[in-house]
Chains A and B, each alone.
Chain A
């Protein structure tokens, strides 16, 4: 069964600094996708970035990049040049494509950006 682990309940980062949010996963499937979502206090889940298991390059989307280490089964999110508006909950999630399973989420990391 697929599983997502986020070991950092909370993180603090100084404005304009970079921060890494950790995510490890467990799956027996060879074909899967890894996702990061942001959830502000308003509650909506905002898609940030996607990495496919067969993608050879790390995904990047603006200030977000995904440090994908397949052998270690980790998919850490890196946010560069943090902004106050980045303060939110961040969730790592995964889908197994062969089993066509729904997204499974980790418990999340609360990021607080300090001015």
Chain B
């Protein structure tokens, strides 16, 4: 296992279309995080899972966004009815937490979304 994989690396879509991104975490990691990064800004937290449970969602995650992590393995982030403001880099990270100790995040290379 070489790290966190994200697919696709780039996605161009027309406004109003739906898009889905996939993240494959490091296999032994039980936590998975989604972040969004717009140009010139730091990553902003969207949501995270511990195993298959979605434990927290940011206010940034509007009802057009949905994330899943079936069986606690890979995760998908879907954006419905995309808007130009959704154009950003979507970063996935995973970590291993046990007894309340988190052993640090590993990030994927991100999916860059452009809505035209």
Q: Footprint of B on A, CB under 8 Å? A: 4, 35, 37, 42-47, 50, 91, 93, 95, 97, 100, 102-108
B109 in contact with A107 (CB, 8 Å): no
Q: Per a CB cutoff under 8 Å, which of B42, B48, B104, B110 touches A102? A: B48
Chain A residues lying within 8 Å of B108, measured Cβ to Cβ, are: 44
A91 in contact with B89 (CB, 8 Å): no
Chosen A-B contacts, 15 in total, with CB atoms closer than 8 Å, are A37-B107, A43-B109, A44-B110, A45-B93, A46-B107, A47-B104, A47-B106, A50-B104, A97-B100, A100-B100, A102-B33, A105-B42, A105-B43, A107-B40, A108-B41
A91 in contact with B104 (CB, 8 Å): no
Q: Footprint of A on B, CB under 8 Å? A: 33, 40-45, 48, 56, 89, 91, 93, 100, 102, 104-110, 112
Chain A residues lying within 8 Å of B102, measured Cβ to Cβ, are: 95, 97, 100
Chain B residues lying within 8 Å of A108, measured Cβ to Cβ, are: 40-42
B100 in contact with A103 (CB, 8 Å): no
A45 in contact with B43 (CB, 8 Å): yes
Secondary structure type dominating chain B contacts? strand
Q: State how many angstroms separate the Cβ of A38 from the closest Cβ of chain B.
A: 11
Q: State how many angstroms separate the Cβ of A7 from the closest Cβ of chain B.
A: 13
A47 in contact with B105 (CB, 8 Å): yes
Chain B residues lying within 8 Å of A104, measured Cβ to Cβ, are: 45
Chain A residues lying within 8 Å of B100, measured Cβ to Cβ, are: 97, 100
Q: Which residue of A lies closest to B48 (CB)?
A: A102
Q: Which residue of A lies closest to B45 (CB)?
A: A102
Q: State how many angstroms separate the Cβ of B4 from the closest Cβ of chain A.
A: 9
B45 in contact with A45 (CB, 8 Å): no
Chain A residues lying within 8 Å of B89, measured Cβ to Cβ, are: 43
Chain B residues lying within 8 Å of A103, measured Cβ to Cβ, are: 33, 43, 45, 93, 105
Q: Per a CB cutoff under 8 Å, which of B42, B48, B109 touches A91? A: B42
